[in-house]
Structure 1
Amino acid sequence: MVPKPILCVTLLSLIISLTTLSLVAADPTYGFTRLPLSNSNFQVQRPYDVPVSQRYSFSNGVHRFLVYSSDKPHMQGSATEPRTEIRITGYDYTSGVWQFEGYFYVPSGTTGTCIQQVFGGVSSATTSQSRVYGGSLTHYQSITLEQNIYNRWIRFNVIHDVGANNVKIYINGGNAPRYNGPGRGASTHYFKFGVYAQPGAASNYMESQWRDIKILRK
């Protein structure tokens, strides 16, 4: 017969192991390697006729982006909608499994704007867009990722497997992605975040804030 103290220790060890496995499984970054990231990797795109400081700031670890629906595009001659975004440089990719992680905050009233992109695709310019419509975060326009997002910090993870043409999006961790579906073809890809007005739907004023940005890969 096994002495009771040893049995208790064994059961406790098993419980701890199972709890650890559960926590690991709930973290979308498990198995990924975090890559070095600094301000030199952050290229700010904003309306071409205003200084960066009028549309973007970085203070106490928080990136703050704002844009107006009446703003100019980021380049003269561009037909795109107004934006203030960071384009992450130094980590463009054409293969592999890549991940973007960050925490975002969207103030009430902001709508009709894209706050995060996986750029590059065959059938369109992007493989993934996460947008804000009326207080909900959506994948493009069709799939709701999270409701009632206004005025709270939310953890956001997007995983792009180029070879499998697959995109997964996680909100506040969890075992199950809120989106798990096809991308839009292999191309040269990179990550962007901020605010990018969507045609016919954008509020006059759009804002998002981001912190704790990470790039990871397998």
Structure 2
Amino acid sequence: MKTKIFRIGFVVAVLAALAMLAGCAATYTGLRYKDLQVQNKMSASIFLEPVSPAQRTVFVQVRNTSDKPFQLQGDVIAALTARGYKVVDDPNQAHYMLQANVLSVGEADKSAVENAQTAGFGGVLGGAAIGGLLGGDRAVEGAVIGGLAGAAAETISGALVKVVTYMVITDLQISERSKGGVSEQFNSNLKQGTGDTTISQRTASSAQWKKYQTRIVSTARQTNLTFQEAYLPLRQGIAQAIGGMM
């Protein structure tokens, strides 16, 4: 009889711990990501030579090859204009040529509870530690059940509060007009059929532009974020990052 009462009490304690873990993890995540967080990271820095105000002219071309509508050109032009650049329609009249391509737009899946940042609340390790505190000859049993409770708490908290991250990947090329000309060499390997045969090509030419390339990875993260809410901040963040390089 005492054993049965002990088991019932044990189950009640585990359920109470489960509810506590789920509630704490969901509350922690909700508070941490309640505000929209937008970040832009570039794969490489671009440094342009300072020029006179008369040379602060730029031709802008922004394309979108992703599967979602993402209108970025207007924001980029506004950011450049605010920094004193004159946007021209003819590349022959420009000192700089800015070309961007939006490669990918979409949601990057993330767990609502991040184990590394919620140690002791939503993860399996926290649940196992609580179970182990029962002690005695039931310590092992408690650790196993506690571990399962911790995993269940993580799942429940993830259902209560979902942290959504949207990511945009943009390739960027900035060309700067060169007075002395630039020597270019292109190397390519073309595959023939389904075998291992390839054709190597090498082309040399001269150009008037010095070219710089980088990739911008932009993210917007918030609890229960929708794409409509992330769309404008992502556009403005990317435009600001591009404008800051000029």
Q: Give the structure with the larger helix fraction.
A: 2
Q: Which has the larger radius of gyration?
A: 2
Fold conserved between structures, TM > 0.5: no
Scaled by the length of structure 2, the TM-score of the pair is 0.24
